[in-house]
Chain A
Amino acid sequence: MGIRVQVQSERFDAGQLLNAMSGTESDCGAVASFSGQVRGGKGLIALELEHYPGVTEKALLRIAQHAAERWDLRQATIIHRVGRMEIGEEIVFVGATAPHRRAALDAVSFMIDVLKTQAPFWKKEYDANGEHWVEARGEDDQAAARWLHEKEEMSA
């Protein structure tokens, strides 16, 4: 089981990360991934991401480990950028490989949903009017709660 988590300010190539995860295990029939990028609109100029060095990396590691405990995976990867990002630039990459597709797809959904509410990152938006911190969204809490609630039911 290979787990990789990283927080970096440098840009990354999601295609390259996906290729690196593909074809590496003979028993894997599935490679799934999610890439998040800066969405334009509403006058947005750029985003700035802040994190809690050390603590954020630990949180990401824990999320990837939880995914690996819950599903039959071979690899789990989370790469998240910090610093300033322009519209269209990549923010986050989450990937998983598994013998079967459902495990890979669900693990990717789980990792990105839980990351949004459990990993210490903060987003600031810059637009023509200035700058403001992005508030947490209720639907993100619900998306994460869906997985965490299911887990409680499973362990009950």
Chain B
Amino acid sequence: MSLTVRYFAALRERMGTAEEAVDTPATTGTELIAWLIERDSRANVLEHPSTRIIVNDEIVSRKHALKAGDVVAFCPPFSGG
């Protein structure tokens, strides 16, 4: 299915892009991470437990079921304030 994947802060710099459209068989966050790593090993940082996933503006767990058209954002730990 087609997804929009976004990367923020250190993850954006690591992946070399802020946003990309992907067509993937992945159906969960965990599967999407595995698929991205297989495509490009630089994505291995996404596996880090501190990486948060925001799907369509909501923080979700890696088991969250993805559907076509979702916007999936990978975020390093927050450091505001």
Kindly list chain A residues whose C-beta atoms are within 8 Å of the C-beta of B54. Answer: 52, 55, 120
Which single member of A55, A92, A133 contacts B80 (CB below 8 Å)? A92
| Interface residue SS majority, chain A | mixed
* Contacting pair B80 A121 (CB below 8 A): yes
**B1 located at the interface, meaning its Cβ lies under 8 Å from any Cβ of chain A in the complex:** no
| Contact segment of A20-28, A67-75, A109-117, A145-153 | A109-117
Kindly list chain A residues whose C-beta atoms are within 8 Å of the C-beta of B9. Answer: 50, 122, 124, 133
On whether A123 and B79 interact (CB within 8 A), knowing A133-B9, A136-B50, the answer reads yes
Chain B interface size, as a band, is 10 to 19
Which single member of B8, B76, B79, B81 contacts A36 (CB below 8 Å)? B81
Tell me how many residues of A have a C-beta within 8 Å of chain B: 28
Kindly list chain A residues whose C-beta atoms are within 8 Å of the C-beta of B81. Answer: 36, 80, 91-92, 112, 115-116, 121, 140
* Contacting pair A52 B79 (CB below 8 A): no
Kindly list chain A residues whose C-beta atoms are within 8 Å of the C-beta of B20. Answer: none
- In this complex, what residue of A is CB-closest to B81? A116
* Contacting pair A120 B78 (CB below 8 A): yes
